[in-house]
Structure 1
Amino acid sequence: MTALLDTRRIWARGRTVDKAAYVVAAVLFTSGLVHLVILVASGTTWEGPLSYRKAMTFGLSFGLTLAGLAWATSFLTIRRRTALLGAFTAVSVVEVALVTLQVWRRVPSHFNFETGFDTVVSYTLAAGGGVIIVTVLGFAVAAWRTTTLSPSMTLALRFGFVVLFAAMVVGAIMVADGVTLARGGQPQLAYTTAGSLKPVHAVALHAILVMPALAWLLRYTSWPERRRTRTIQAAAVVYTLLIAGAIIVS
């Protein structure tokens, strides 16, 4: 009950940019759920760049990440949070909208240079990835500069943002390799090569939601801060092992 009341307070005390981010996150997540229903109901393939799965995963992932980022950054001491969170929110909409558009047009969203419009979409998605990296880097730096939080929450935020930044770097590598191969006349190899890094990207992407959430929930236990910090340390080790496993699978 206390956690639920705190959740309501977070919404009530949130700034306009926070509430906008949460609303947008809910819309994106709902879009992902809708495409999951369409995917299952249509009986079409889950594989390939034309699958409704892509619209589903982008909607779900961006929805969760945006909500987690808006909440996690509310703990940080950072001057330009509104600008950074606003930029991340805007680019999340653009990324999901363009991917969804291309799925419904039945053409690949990434590494597609068949027409002028498709080329613009591909490069816009790549540019959006660059904006995401810059914003996440800004938040990661702020997490390391913030020293007013409990040790457990501080560790959770720092670990979460470092791993999130690593996930974005992996995403940039996927895009760079894919564009190079597609421009070299090997579009199918581009999708295959980029797809091989998806497990690592997916696992690392949501550390910013999982770790701070665990630290937040531990506040409602009777454990002393030292035990909470050790729990977060153990969780960080487990999460690192999950990432390592994803790398092996890739």
Structure 2
Amino acid sequence: MSIAAVTPVPLRSRWHLPLLWLAAAMFALLVFSVGGMVFDHRVITGLPAWDKPAKFALSVLIYAVTWAWLIPQLPRGRRLAEWAGIAAAVMLAVEMVAIVIQVVRGTTSHFNVSSPLNSAIWYVMAASIGALWLATAVIAVVLFRNPGPDRARNLAFRYGTVLSLVGMALGLLMVGPKAGQHDVPRTISGAHTVGLADGGPGLPLLGWSTVGGDLRIPHFVGIHALQVIPLIVIAFELLAHRSRPFGEVRTRAALVTVATGAYTALLGLVTWQALRGESIVHPHAPTLIALAVIAAATAAATTWAVRR
């Protein structure tokens, strides 16, 4: 056995270190924020003050770990992806620092233009979010230029990346003055709740409105397609040991496409639902009918993919 065969692979070659460091920082912030929810009894927009840092820290942690693992596996254009990953890590760090600063100050971070300082913090956050989208798009382009030997996995990561970018872009629906925010002086410019002011009744921890539409839902569903779709193909691979059709790459690829179609339809549905001002927990007849159509179409397409 050669020396190279037993030499451990350096950590920097297996992981994107800036994103890995960001993930570690987010884990620490998550733990701290959970403690803050226990010991700090302040409330901001109807939720515990440290609820937002906890949710964002968890989401950023998942994002950072995913790309920290993927980027080192991209041989073509890897240097460009690494620099884009550094940019993404910096932009996310800027956003999280802004969120924590505003929590410490006892006020909101997103859409807050109630003072010159609050406006500056919000505009810095908005700029960092835009730069984050561009950095992620660059990594996505490099990912597309690096197909692997397994077609189903290729499709899963490509589909997940595209939907994640769509989910990030859906955040733009929350930006800008909404109804009742055109008065001068304006303190808030933007909202995630449709039909009502932010801060009303919401789901525990998540905070998603239970009385109106909430644009955070499609934003969340879209962003985390990057994790959900690849996990689906991994589930198919595990089933390959028990079911013969799943052992064929062609079948797994078809099923990944079906699953992505269903996920995309679901993303469109929750976006439509939120824009209509309808709560996620109180769906009306059109929403239920659309959901039934998606379920039926997915079942039919799954049956076709397995039996063909």
Question: Normalization by structure 1: what TM-score?
Answer: 0.80
CA contact 2:156–2:256 (8 Å) conserved in 1: yes
Which residue is equivalent to 1:26?
Answer: 24
Residue 135 of structure 1 corresponds to 135
One-letter amino acid matched to 2:229: M
RMSD of aligned alpha carbons: 3.1
- Deviation (angstroms), 1:96: 0.9
Deviations 1:183-214 (A, max 9, x none): 96444573355863111101111111222244
Partner of 2:267: 243
For residues 45 and 161 of structure 1, the distance between their equivalents in structure 2, rounded to whole angstroms, comes to 35
CA contact (8 A) 1:88 1:131 kept: yes
Q: Say if 1:99 and 1:109, in contact at 8 Å, map to a contact too.
A: yes
Query: What secondary structure sits across from 2:109 in the alignment?
Result: coil
**What residue is the counterpart of 2:258 in the other structure?**
234
Distance 1:78 1:66 in 2: 19
Partner of 1:65: 63
Q: Which amino acid aligns with 1:96?
A: M
Distance 1:184 1:24 in 2: 39
Measure the CA separation in 1 of the matches of 2:183 and 2:71.
38
CA contact (8 A) 2:44 2:108 kept: no
Partners of 1:212 and 1:12 lie apart in 2 by: 26
Higher helix fraction: Structure 1 or Structure 2?
1
Change (3 A) 1:54 1:183: farther
Q: Report if the CA contact (8 A) 2:114-2:188 is conserved.
A: no
Gaps spanning 5+ residues in structure 2: where? 1-7, 199-213, 242-246, 275-308
8 Å Cα contact 1:112-1:118 kept in structure 2: yes
Deviation at 1:156, TM superposition (A): 0.8
Residue 229 of structure 2 is matched in structure 1 by 211
1:112 paired to 2:112 = yes
The equivalent position to 1:54 in structure 2, one of 33, 52, 55, is 52
CA change 1:89–1:189 in 2 (3 A) is: closer
Return the offset for 1:95: 0.8
Three-state SS of the structure 1 residue aligned to 2:143 is: helix
Q: C-alpha distance in 2, partners of 1:162/1:72?
A: 15
Aligned residues with identical type, % of pairs: 22
Q: Go from structure 1 to structure 2 and tell me whether the alpha carbon gap of 1:91 and 1:218 turns closer, same or farther (over 3 Å shift).
A: same
CA-CA distance at 1:122 after TM superposition: 1.0
CA pair 138-189 structure 1, distance change in 2 beyond 3 A = closer
The structure with higher relative contact order (CA 8 Å, sep 6+) is: 1
Please list the CA deviations of residues 71-92 of structure 1 after superposition, one character each: whole Å capped at 9, or x if unmatched: 2334443340111001111111
Instruction: Specify the code of the residue in structure 2 equivalent to 1:52.
Output: W
Alpha-carbon offset, residue 219 of structure 1: 4.7
User: Aligned pair in 2 of structure 1 residues 182, 18: CA closer, same or farther (>3 Å)?
Assistant: farther
After superposition, the Cα gap between the structure-2 partners of 1:95 and 1:17, relative to the gap in structure 1 and judged at 3 Å, is farther
Name the residue aligned to 2:167.
Answer: 167
Cα 1:249–1:152, aligned 2, differ >3 Å: closer, same or farther? same
Q: Distance in 1 between matches of 2:152 and 2:193?
A: 38
Q: Which moved more, 1:71-80 or 1:42-51?
A: 42-51
Q: Which has the higher mean CA deviation after the structures are superposed, 143-152 or 97-106?
A: 143-152
SS in 1 for 2:190: helix
Cα distance change, pair 145–184 in 1 and its aligned pair in 2 (3 A): farther
- Aligned partner of 1:124 in structure 2 is 124
Separation (CA, whole Å) in 2 of partners of 1:182 and 1:164: 32
Change (3 A) 1:189 1:86: closer
Aligned 8 A contact 2:176 2:190 in 1: no
2:15–2:71 CA contact under 8 A, matched in 1? no
* 1:208-236: CA deviation from partner (whole Å, max 9, x where unpaired): 12222443565554422123213322321
Contact 1:51/1:103 (CA < 8 Å) preserved in 2?
yes
Matched residue of 1:191: which SS? coil
Deviations along 1:22-48, one digit per CA (max 9) or x if unpaired, are 232132133124323422554554744
Residues 29/84 of structure 1: CA separation in 2 closer, same or farther (3 Å cut): same
Aligned ranges for residues 183-202 of structure 1 at < 5 Å? 185-188=185-188, 190-193=190-193, 196-202=214-220
